[in-house]
Structure formats: structure tokens, C-alpha cells
Amino acid sequence: MAEVQIPKPGGPLVVNERKEQTIVELKPWRSVIPQITKPMVASMGHADVPGSHVAIGFAIITEPCNVSGPTHAHDFDQWIYLVGHGDLSEFDAEAEMLVGDETVQINYPFYAYIPAGMPHCPLIVKRVGKPIMFVDAREVPEKHE
């Protein structure tokens, strides 16, 4: 198993290794959220491959936690997913998420499209019966590199 990276304050979350022009080896890293104990992986957009405009992070959640921190907004689009781990359609968990001005109760596999400027979060996983996968996908315009 590869060594798990620990993000440094002010530094990049993860440093992957580009193997070919458009092929990148994902390097595992430790989440900044203490309840996420399994290694995470993420593509880092331009930091991995020049011209790539998407970053996607994957984490396995095995216990209740606040996945996202306080309410915030971005100047880019974002997609947030919670799905079953193993069988993506098997979802044995409960969560709630603020999207715009509405708090949504979630007990099914879902994704949320968060357009630029929309207030969102916290995303709080309240109960985990079976592990679930959290996916955070976002546009990464060059100015965010």
C-alpha cells in the first residue's frame, strides 16, 4: 500500500504522480476531517494534467461527521455525491444538507449540483449503517490553481 500523505497547512491537499501525458497515479492522503479514517484520493485538475478543468475527491465515510464545514459558496460549479460503498445503489445512512436556503433530509444515494454562488453546506452525515462514498467534483478554472 502506498504511503498516505498528510496535507500541510497552506500547501496542496495532495500531490499525485503523472505517469503519461494524460495518465495520473492517484496518491492516497489523509482527510482533514478526523472521522474519515480511510485514505482518500483526488484528481487535482491543472495541478495533475495541464488543461484539465475538473477536480474530484473520493472518501469513504464509516461514521457520522460534518463532511463540509460551515455554509459557504464558491465562484465555480460543484457536484456533491453520497452513494453506497461497494454497491453504489445500496445506501444505509442518513444525512442532511443545506442547499440554497433549504435543508434537505437525505436517506438515498444522491448528488447535488451546486451552481457558482449558491450557498450550501453543512453536509452532515447523521447515521451510517454501512459505509458510504462521498464524492466532491468541481470545475477548476486556471485562476484557482
**Mean residue pLDDT across the chain:** 90
> CA 55 to CA 43: how far, in whole Å?
5
Is 16 within a domain?
no
Number of domains, the chain: 1
Where in the sequence is the domain holding 68, given as residue range(s)?
A: 24-144
Is 31 within a domain?
yes
Is 50 within a domain?
yes
Average pLDDT over residues 54-74: 94
Per-residue pLDDT reduced to its tens digit, 94-122:
999 999 999 999 999 999 999 999 999 99
Is 3 within a domain?
no
pLDDT tier, 145 (very low <50, low <70, confident <90, very high otherwise): very low
Q: Which residue has the higher pLDDT, 5 or 28?
A: 28
Average pLDDT over residues 51-63: 94
Q: Say which residue the cell 445506501 belongs to.
A: 91
Q: Find the angle CA(6)-CA(138)-CA(29) to the nearest 5 degrees.
A: 15
pLDDT tier, 14 (very low <50, low <70, confident <90, very high otherwise): confident
Which domain CATH number covers 79?
2.60.120.10
Predicted confidence (pLDDT) at residue 5 exceeds the cutoff of 70: no
C-beta separation of 42 from 54 below 8 A:
no
Is 109 within a domain?
yes
Predicted confidence (pLDDT) at residue 80 exceeds the cutoff of 80: yes
Average pLDDT over residues 83-88: 94
Residues 6+ apart with CB under 8 A from 50: none
Choose among 40, 113, 124, 107: nearest CA to 80: 113
